[in-house]
Amino acid sequence: MRRIRKRKENQLEISRQIEKIDKIIDRYEERFKDGHKVLIELFQDINQEFNYIPKESLIRISKRCGIPLSRLFSLAKFYNSFRLEKIGKHHICVCAGTTCHINRSDKIIDELRSRLKIEPGHTTEDENWTFETVHCFGVCAHGPLVEIDGNYYHKVDLKKLDEILKKYENDK
């Protein structure tokens, strides 16, 4: 029963998204012949509206404008400023750079993989967490380094990680 309700809610959410996406596409449709630059502007508007680029929007652009979907995906993936996945309520980022790795940041990454049940680059199903890794935060002497919602935590081990996460989890 709950699954059916969830599916209906998702369908409703997608319909609302499509309505908004169509309105944004309307503003650009005339200019699609201008190529690449217009698509970037369109992506920026979609990104601003949703805080990411829903896959549904690429499908709509492809259908309405006759641009191959693969081209739209490659373009959106090429730019770091665009995300193809919704961002969770909290954003956690672990440094996987050499110095942090030597100080066992791999243990932190593995713990988060198993605790959040996602791989880096993804968002949990309940949309509470988006988990990512970076190559270096530039403060290597303080590693392993973890950043959550703009707050930096130094010399994080599994015990400290547990304490930090509890703080954010209690804040749900």
Chain contacts with ligand FES (rule: CB under 6 A): 95, 97-100, 136-137, 139-140, 143, 145
Amino acid at 118: I
Residue closest to ligand FES (Cβ): 97
Of 12 and 139, which has the nearer Cβ to ligand FES? Answer: 139
Of 87 and 140, which has the nearer Cβ to ligand FES? Answer: 140
- Report in angstroms how near the CB of residue 94 gets to ligand FES at its nearest: 9
- Report in angstroms how near the CB of residue 147 gets to ligand FES at its nearest: 10
- Report in angstroms how near the CB of residue 158 gets to ligand FES at its nearest: 17
Of 42 and 94, which has the nearer Cβ to ligand FES? Answer: 94
d(C-alpha 97, C-alpha 145), whole Å: 10
Amino acid at 19: E
Q: DSSP readout, the chain? A: -HHHHHHHHHHHHHHHHHHHHHHHHHHHGGGGGG-HHHHHHHHHHHHHHHSS--HHHHHHHHHHH---HHHHHHHHHH-TT--SSPPPSEEEEEE-SHHHHHTTHHHHHHHHHHHHTS-TTEE-TTSSEEEEEES--S-GGG-S-EEETTEEE-S--HHHHHHHHHHHHTT-
- Report in angstroms how near the CB of residue 164 gets to ligand FES at its nearest: 17
- Report in angstroms how near the CB of residue 73 gets to ligand FES at its nearest: 31
Of 21 and 95, which has the nearer Cβ to ligand FES? Answer: 95
Of 55 and 160, which has the nearer Cβ to ligand FES? Answer: 160
d(C-alpha 22, C-alpha 40), whole Å: 16
